[in-house]
Amino acid sequence: MRARFFLGFHQPAGLARAGVPLFVSDTRLREYKTLPRAAAPWALDSGGFTQLQKYGEWTVPPREYVARVRRYRDEVGRMEFASIQDWMCESIVISGGRAGRMFFVGTKLSVPEHQNRTVYNAVELEMLAPDLPWLKVVQGDKRDDYLRCADLYERAGIDLTKESLVGVGSVCRRQGMKEAHDIIQALRERGLHRLHGFGVKTKGLAMFGDLLDSADSLAWSEDARRKKRVICGTVHPRGGKTCANCLPYALQWRTRLLAQGSETPAQLRLFDGEAA
């Protein structure tokens, strides 16, 4: 897989219209009786953040998830990978509480337990459906946690250094991008040379995009929400007041990011060969 940037998007119908790589959540795609046919490569987010934020646990059985992923692969087509059902390790996810508009019930578990459950799920999904393109994910809080998670995979019989791509979880909501940079650098030194960054901020792309083989971002939606008005120049259906769910604005944002990337060597390789 070449380096690729996936544009996070809420509405799965965009798969048929965007014409650029999208990152779409199972949480939204599962609602579709008739699935869109992908016009470009795309990847599946398992929806783990929403699961743990709302319920403090996974309510989707692995076999059920496998059945949906296989359907997406066959009916939507062009799916590059599907994220496993991992357990994020941010303190707000574990302890619970309020962060901005969102309330987290809290899992009340430890970081090591989240890591154990993440690796166990990767093993289970691989056993249930070795034919599907699972993206294994390393999770942690501090730098050394991620290295220990890689060790857990190895003890479970999964050599992450031989995976075509490995996801790096729990980095997108960090306040300090240098910490995220150090985590990604440590994983590469550990032998994980092909990494996907989940929800990487634009500052992160500029700082360590050259260390990633792919990344996704939904940052455009929050950017549109902060502006509190329709800014894409189109009329939204159902009286939409902002562009927070708007494909035209998402594509405009991506074009601007591409332009910035041409001046920022660290993130340029993520857009190499991509159409604007």
Q: Specify the residue for token string 């303190």.
A: 91
Domains in the chain: ranges and CATH:
4-217 (3.20.20.60)
Residue 275 has pLDDT above 50, yes or no: no
pTM: 0.93
Q: pLDDT digit string (tens) for 5-36?
A: 999 998 999 999 999 999 999 999 999 999 99
Amino acid identity at 105 = V
132: which 2 tokens?
């599907």
Distance CA 113, CA 66 (A): 23
Q: pLDDT digit string (tens) for 202-211?
A: 888 888 888 9
Task: Find out whether 245 and 37 touch, Cβ atoms under 8 Å.
Answer: no
Q: pLDDT digit string (tens) for 170-191?
A: 887 665 678 999 999 999 999 9
Query: Residue 250: how many CB atoms within 10 A of its CB?
Result: 27
